Amino acid sequence: MDNLTPEDFARRVTDLGLSERRQVDVALSDLKSEQRTLEGVIAQLQRRGLVTTLQTEKILRGDRIGYFYGEYKVLYLIGAGTFARVYRASHDEKVVAVKVLRKRFRDEPAELEQFLREGSMGLKLRHPNIVSINEVVPDRRNPFLVMEFVEGQTLRELVRIRGALPVDLSLRLINEIAAGLAHAASVGISHRDLKLSNVLISSSGRAKLVDFGLAALSDRNNPDKIADCPNARAIDYAALERGSGVRKDDPRSDIYFAGNMLYHMLTGTPALTETRDRLARLNISRFQDIEPVTKHVEVPGLVSQLLNKMMEFNPEKRIQSASALVAESKRVIDALARGQTKREGENLPKVGEEYQDDDVASDEGEGYVVMLVETKATLQNAIRERLKARGYRVLIIQDPNRALARFQAGDDPPADCVIFSASELGSLALEAYNRFATDEHTAEMPAIMLADRRQARIIAEARGGPRRQMLSLPLRVRELRATLMKVLAGTERRPLGTY
C-alpha cells in the first residue's frame, strides 16, 4: 500500500480486528516521537505481539481479506503445498492449524470433494499418532479445516537436517506411524499418501500422521476394483497396486510405503527414486529393484528383515496390516533393547579426552543443538559438517544480534551452546558474547568465542566463566569437540526427535 503512514498502519490493525485499539495505543505510548516512523510502529507492535509478520505483509500489500477464517485469526503460514496452505491461527487464546484449499481449486468439483472428504474422514480419527481435525467448514467460496496445532517439524525436515537417523529412533517413529495407521484401518480408512512430509514430529518427539486427503473408505464389496491414477499424488500407490495385481485401496500398500519411510530414516535417502516423471513412477521395476539397506548403512539383521518384509513386492509375503506392523516393529525394538550390552552413555567421550581430527562419525553430540554465529561460508561449512558427523544439530546465524534475539526469557532456548566467531565479525561478536554472559536468561548457558591470536583486544575483553571458553583460530576440530563436551557437561540432552 503506497504512502501508508504510521497512523494508517495502526488504524488498519484495529479496523481489521487484529488487536484492540487500547492495546495499540498503550504500545505506541512507549515510543518516543522520533521512533514513530512506519518501521518503528511496526517493530513495536510486533514486539508486543499485537501483529505478526504475515499480517504486516498483508497490510502493507493492501490486502482486505485473509486475516480470519471464520472466527480464527491467522497468525503465520506454517506449510504450503500444491493443493492447500496451512496457517497457525488462534481463537480465544487457543492455537489451532487452519488448512485452506487454494483458490484455483475451489471451482474444481473433484478437488473440492477430495478436500472436504479429508475433513470428514479426519473427524472420525482420534488417536495420539494422528493430527486431529476438529471442524470442517464446507463454504464453497472459502472452504477450510480446523486442525490440532502441532509444535514441531515434519519428518522430512528432521531427516533433511539430521541425515540418517539412529536405528532406535527410526524404529520408534515407524512404530508410532503404524499405530496411527492401525487406528485409521479400524474404521476402514487407509492413508494413500504416506511420505515423510505427511508425518509431524511434535516437540515431545511423537510422530503424528497428517493429510488423509487421498484416503479412501475401503470398498470391501468390490475386491476386483483396480487402482487408477486420478492425480499425481496417487500415482505411486496406483502403480504398485497395478503391478502387484491387487485392488485399489489394498491396506498393504500403506505398509509398503511405510517401509520406504523407514528406509529413508535409516539411510537418509529414499528407497524409491523421487521423480516427477510420470512414466518413471509407473515403471514396476522401481518397486522391485530396491538396493539393500546395508549398502548405505549398517543396521542389525532384525531391522533389515523387518524392512524387507515391509517392502516385499509380492503383497502376500508383505506384512499384512498396520496392526501387524505395530506388533512386528515392537518385537524388533524389544529384541534390540534386550541385546543392548553397553550402559547408556558408555561410549560417549570423556571430558578432556584426546581427539583426533578424523572423519569417523560418532554420536557424542546426540541430543545437543549448537548455534554458530559466523559470516564466513568456508568456516560455517567446516564446523557444521564436522559437528553434524558427531550427532550435533548445528544452526547457522550470521547476525550476532539476531542470534541473541532468538533467546527470549521464559522460552525454551533454541540451542544448548552458542559459538561466536570473531574472525570476520570482530567487535560485534565480542559484544554479543559478553551480553550473552550478562543477560539473566542466558548467563548460565554455555558459550564459546573463536578469535584469531592477533585479535588481542577481543581476547582480553571477552568475559570468562565456568561455561565460557575461548578457542584460537585457525580451529582444530579435536579442541572444539573437547571444549563442547566440557561446557555442555551437566546440560541435559534433548530427547531424540525433538531437535
Rg (CA), the chain: 26
Residue 199: what are its φ and ψ, rounded to 5°? -125, 125
The amino acid at residue 235 is I
Q: Is 193 a catalytic residue?
A: yes
Q: Buried b / exposed e across 173-202, counting CB within 10 Å, b at 16+?
A: bbbbbbbbbbbbbeebbbbbbbbbebbbbb
- Of 116, 109, 131, nearest to 207 by C-alpha is 131
As a whole number of angstroms, the distance between CA 99 and CA 84 comes to 7
Q: How far apart are CA 186 and CA 273, in angstroms?
A: 31
d(CA 377, CA 368): 22
CA 32 to centroid of chain Cα atoms: 40
Distance CA 249, CA 246 (A): 9
Do residues 266 and 199 make contact, with C-beta atoms less than 8 angstroms apart? no
Is 342 labeled as ligand-binding? Answer: no
187 CA to centre of own chain: 29
Query: Cell numbers 534475539 label which residue?
Result: 405
- Start-to-end C-alpha separation, the chain: 39
- Say how far apart CA 60 and CA 49 lie, in whole Å: 17
Contact 370, 397 (CB under 8 A): no
3 state SS for 130-162: ECCEEEEECCCCCCEEEEECCCEEEHHHHHHHH
Q: Which three cell numbers stand for residue 314?
A: 509380492
Strands of 182-330, DSSP E: 199-202, 207-209
Distance CA 55, CA 60 (A): 9
Residues comprising the chain, all counted: 499
- The residue from 2, 8, 30, 193 that is catalytic is 193
Contact call for residues 199 and 155 (beta carbons, < 8 A):
yes
User: Would you please indicate which residues are annotated as catalytic (active-site) residues?
Assistant: 193
Annotated binding site for ATP: 99
